[in-house]
Amino acid sequence: MVVNLAVVGAGMRGLRYAREAVRTGSGRVVAVAEPDPERRRAFAAEFGVPADGVFVGWAELAAVDRLADAVVIATQDRMHAGPAVAFARLGYHILLEKPMAPEEEDARAIVAAVRESKVIFAVGHVMRYTPYTRAIRGVLDSGVLGRLASVQHLEPVGWWHQAHSFVRGAWRRADESGPMLLTKSCHDMDWLLHIVGLRPARVSSFGSLSHFRPENRPENAGERCVDCAAEPGCPYSATRLYLGCLGDPSAEFWPLSAVTTDPTPSGVIAALTTGPYGRCVYACDNDVVDHQVVNIEFEGGVTASFTMTAFTPMEHRRTRLFGSHGHLEGDGRTIRVVDFRTGVEEQIDAYAGGASMAGGHGGGDEGLTAAFLAAVAAGDQSVLECDPDEALDGHLLTWAAERARETGTVQAL
């Protein structure tokens, strides 16, 4: 069965899922809703969407007879709940980009709607669907580690990625999108629940916006990188970053396409002269944290620590699992397993692409899209190995961790 898809939001995530569906032959794009006229036109042209399948907004698409088997919802974070509830009630199966919603009430409303309508539902927790994750789960299921005692998990956001998305970009302010732990790391919370396989009992968290603040601005810094005396020695130079994307198709797709639709030197400079991505990182209106730790105690006493930090290269997550009979550590590419009983070490190659959006999130974009389309074709939620309540659980853990950080308390779950 080829699944007919409607895509709401023709930005980078909507494009990524649509391209994966079409590439494999498992999906066909028949409708798009996108307010930006240039993105709407380009998307419709790329996928051959007929004129009667092109809409300015999701409400217009929802107002006509159902055009597709499923819908991909890839709007901005605060625009998820309305279309998700509406399309669930119309009988569309749903692939919803993460996070589900910035507020718990909206996320619960989405789950209630998909439960009531009995539609297939997936959240863009792409980390669940990488070969790396499947390999780690395979090691755990084999029993070689014995009883799991604790987990360390690091998300190396990357210095330039923090500046791009969370200082200059669309996820820089909690009131416009959400706290960084939600917008960037809710799928890390989901991943930890998926790997540990137990209910979380308590959580604490600490973190702040420590560096990207006005008081850290060099004395000779300008308002924009294009006319800044400090730019040549600044690690967050927008001029260096975005001009450096030119000629690289992956980098032109992301991050450059968020900056300009004109991938030429003059197009980049024009965008940096007038647009948000050319601003000094010490003179933006950002307020989300640039580093955070989360400590989790699970039922049965298993513990996990998660660190998210801007101050790294942008790389795959790094994880260590500590068990009674063995040890595992991985870097998103290779997994090392040590068996305490024999002293034998095993190396597992689990590389399936780069860590970024341009690299397909280590095979996660491909894996999630394939699983969603297979679930829709079979009419079986279990193909996704995640039900709507499980998808919500990672968000609930994230919100509890944020409450813990903001109040300096340990939160029970």
Regions of the chain short of the pLDDT cut 50:
none
pLDDT in tens, 247-258: 999 999 999 999
pLDDT at position 357 is: 63
| Residue 40, CA distances (Å) to 5, 35, 149, 208, 358 in order | 15, 7, 50, 38, 21
pLDDT at position 355 is: 61
* Amino acid present at 84: A
* Amino acid present at 267: G
The token pair at 156 is 């190396």
Residue ranges in 201-359 assigned as alpha helix (H):
238-243, 249-253, 265-274
The token pair at 142 is 């084999």
pLDDT at position 361 is: 79
pLDDT at position 353 is: 77
pLDDT in tens, 13-55: 999 999 999 999 999 999 999 999 999 999 999 999 999 999 9
| Residue 169, CA distances (Å) to 160, 165, 278, 286, 402 in order | 11, 4, 10, 9, 21
pLDDT in tens, 113-149: 999 999 999 999 999 999 999 999 999 999 999 999 9
